Amino acid sequence: MIIVMRPHAAEAELDAVTTLIASLALTSHISRGAERTIVGVVGAPADKETLLAQFAGLDGVESVVPISKSFKLVSREARPERTIVRIKPGISFGGTEIAVCAGPCSVESREQLETTASAVAAAGANILRGGAFKPRTSPYAFQGLGEEGLKYLRDAADRNGLAVVTEVLDVRDVELVSKYTDILQIGARNMQNFTLLREVGGARVPALLKRGIAATIDEWLMAAEYIYVAGNHQIVLCERGIRSYDQATRNLLDLSAVPVAQGLTHLPVIVDPSHGTGIRNLVAPMSLAAVAGGADGLIIEVHPNPAAAFSDGPQSLTLPMFAELMARIAPVAEAVGRKLPEPATAAA
């Protein structure tokens, strides 16, 4: 159930609502919008009808809306205005600016990261990506540099005025990864790792939740609800392709998932055309299509020498290819009322 407060309702009126919620052994989640404050009520009330009437009768309450979907707090009903996930000053998801995350699949060395970070920043990206803990299908494939890789990421990003997004694979590493990153990525293979979702829900760092390899949009939003209800409201969703019968591409990039999800949730939705296609030459057309279709950002694999990449070389753009793509995205973004980020300013 969602309780919509009247515009400019007094704090005391809001307190009366949350006090009643607590007295019924239910939990409140407050979202303060520009116009209105909305209170999400979570729990299993005994008698819904009486409860609806009880809340509707309180001062300052405009309406009480029952939500029938299995995801509630992340739904549009709970918050009609779009959430802007703010990473740091000048870097956000869900506003007019499109966020662009770029970098290698895996963090391989300090030099690789420095070269990539300065090139993607110069081309207009605002967030550096790279995996230090890698979810590899084979246990014999490169598993990542761990904490050493996190340090390389942080240093290279700071030197170039970028934020960092990196994957956390294990509940035991959430604290460690949070020390180095600005965004905790939950990978496709972990989308329904409910223990990890709850742990990231308790973190103070925003989350990037990738869609599972065979997850429906509803399942993806329920996974986001796990993070949200555990207290972390800064969530970005990422469409990265789903498993299909067709071998022509690595995955089937579901671009319609962007407007579908945006219709169902207030959270920003971005696209990963690299894992979505698995093929370097498809990354540019799918990036342009994603932006034209309203995506709130992109996450793109870029490597100084894709042929030598430890992972995902075939889908990684070279540094010049990424710069060329950014130049092509700018007019597409403008045509749909969006813009690319302001150029990153390196830390002094």
Which residues here bind ligand PEP, judged by CB under 6 A? 105, 131, 135, 167, 187-189, 210, 240, 272, 275
How far apart are CB 10 and Mn ion at their closest, in Å? 50
What is the Cα–Cα distance from 202 to 261, expressed in whole angstroms? 24
Residue 291 and residue 282: Cα distance in Å, rounded?
14
Q: Using the minimum distance from each CB to Mn ion, give the nearer residue, 31 or 318.
A: 318
To the nearest whole angstrom, how small is the minimum distance from the Cβ of residue 106 to Mn ion? 7
| x/- letters, 64..103, toward Mn ion (CB under 5 A) | ----------------------------------------
* Smallest separation (angstroms) from ligand PEP to the CB of 186: 8
Q: Applying CB under 5 A, what is the total number of residues that bind Mn ion?
A: 2
107 binds, among ligand PEP, Mn ion, none (CB under 5 to 8 A by kind): none
Burial of 253 per CB tally in 10 Å (0-12, 13-18, 19+): buried
CB of 319 to ligand PEP, least distance (A): 18
Scan for tokens 């761990």, then name that residue. Answer: 146
How many C-beta atoms surround the C-beta of residue 126 within 10 A? 28
Question: Cβ 141 to ligand PEP, closest distance in Å?
Answer: 11
Q: What is the per-residue binding string for Mn ion in 181-220, x denoting contact by CB under 5 A?
A: ----------------------------------------
Residue (64 or 236) nearer to ligand PEP, CB? 236
Q: Cβ closer to ligand PEP: 124 or 187?
A: 187
Q: Whole-angstrom Cα distance, residue 233 to residue 204? A: 10
Q: Looking at beta carbons, which pairs linking 248-255 to residues 24 or more positions away fall under 8 Å?
A: 249/276, 249/277, 249/278, 249/279, 249/282, 250/275, 250/276, 250/277, 250/278, 250/279, 250/315, 251/213, 251/275, 251/276, 251/277, 251/278, 252/276, 253/277, 253/286, 254/211, 255/286, 255/289, 255/290, 255/293
Question: What is the dihedral sign for C-alpha 275, 344, 291, 92?
Answer: positive
Query: C-beta of 217: minimal distance to ligand PEP in Å?
Result: 16
Output 94 or 187, the one with its CB closest to ligand PEP. Answer: 187
Residues that bind Mn ion in the complex, under the rule CB under 5 A: 105, 312
